[in-house]
Amino acid sequence: MPYETLSTAHCFGGTQGFYRHESSSTGTPMRFAVFTPPQAATRPVPVLWCLAGLTCTEENFSTKAGAQRRAAELGLMLVMPDTSPRGDGVADDAAYDLGQGAGFYLDATQAPWAANFRMGSYIADELPRLIGAHFPADMHAQGITGHSMGGHGALTLALTHPGRYRSVSAFAPIVAPMQCPWGEKALTAYLGADRAAWRGVDACALIADGARLPDVLVDQGLADNFLAEQLKPELLEAACAKAGIALTLRRHAGYDHSYWFISSFIDDHLDWHAARLKRPAV
């Protein structure tokens, strides 16, 4: 599984790198970023997947979240993929919430998207194989987090791959894409008009249908412009309560949807993941 190193920089005793490879899942070149902590010089380290939101690339979380300092202290590898396939021959849409930059971490089944938009398989299967083969990663200790569309991806990937991720968290996630404009637009385009096909990529629907997580941490800003129409954390709160899932939902007055919000609470999330990833496997 060859890959190309685009750049690396020494960071908090570790290495922040940016990479590119040819993806068999998407049929395109894909870029990703990895922060390798200093502890990886002597042993494999736990892996935290960090999924970005609409319009973002592998650079957003790696340059704006401020996660490397605490990740270095905790010995966590951070893997930050791009949010979609890209390129001149890849289907796109003029709007920001569909197409390139808006892969929604699922495998599309509808034309023209099905040819390349297979981000579910890419994040769950292909990229982990590459990371496990080429980086000092303990693939038996994986966690996942994400922001907005990436929060949706973190929740749905964890729910559909039970036992894969020992820890799950999200910042301002899209928790019920079947019930918000962003989700309805994307799921119609990528999966077709049959709403039954959408349930496998909707966190609240997955929970209602029996999928489970041990626990999950979610932070939500109350000054988020997308809160009422797109994010609806109260739906996840109700779904988890009914299913008996231990949800820690923290609502923060004054915080919006930006990386200023993420950077304010990123250390809490990294601590959450480290506590679970460093426990012995059961």
When divided into structural domains, the chain yields a total of 1
Catalytic residue list contains 148: yes
The answer to whether 136 touches 150, Cβ cutoff 8 Å, is no
Residues 199-240 have pLDDT tens digits of 999 999 999 999 999 999 999 999 999 999 999 999 999 999
The answer to whether 173 touches 216, Cβ cutoff 8 Å, is no
List the catalytic residue out of 23, 62, 84, 148: 148
* pLDDT over 80 at 55, yes or no: yes
User: Does 220 fall in a domain?
Assistant: yes
User: Does 282 fall in a domain?
Assistant: no
List the catalytic residue out of 82, 107, 219, 224: 224
Residues 255-264 have pLDDT tens digits of 999 999 999 9
User: Does 51 fall in a domain?
Assistant: yes
pLDDT number for residue 1: 80
Mean pLDDT of 178-183: 98
pLDDT number for residue 282: 52
CATH of the domain at 88: 3.40.50.1820
Q: Would strands 29-36 and 14-22 be described as parallel, antiparallel, or unpaired?
A: antiparallel
Catalytic residue list contains 224: yes
Mean pLDDT of the chain: 97
List the catalytic residue out of 147, 152, 257, 269: 257
pLDDT band of residue 279 (cuts 50, 70, 90) is: confident
pLDDT number for residue 281: 60
User: Does 200 fall in a domain?
Assistant: yes
User: Does 84 fall in a domain?
Assistant: yes
* pLDDT over 70 at 14, yes or no: yes
pTM comes to 0.97
Rounded Cα gap, residues 217 and 214, in angstroms: 11
Range of the structural domain that residue 9 is part of: 3-277
Residues 109-161 have pLDDT tens digits of 999 999 999 999 999 999 999 999 999 999 999 999 999 999 999 999 999 99
**DSSP string over 230-252:** II-HHHHHHHHHHHT-EEEEEEE
pLDDT band of residue 280 (cuts 50, 70, 90) is: low
User: Does 154 fall in a domain?
Assistant: yes
Please give the residue that has the higher pLDDT: either 280 or 227.
227
pLDDT number for residue 71: 98
In the chain, what percentage of residues exceed pLDDT 70? Answer: 99
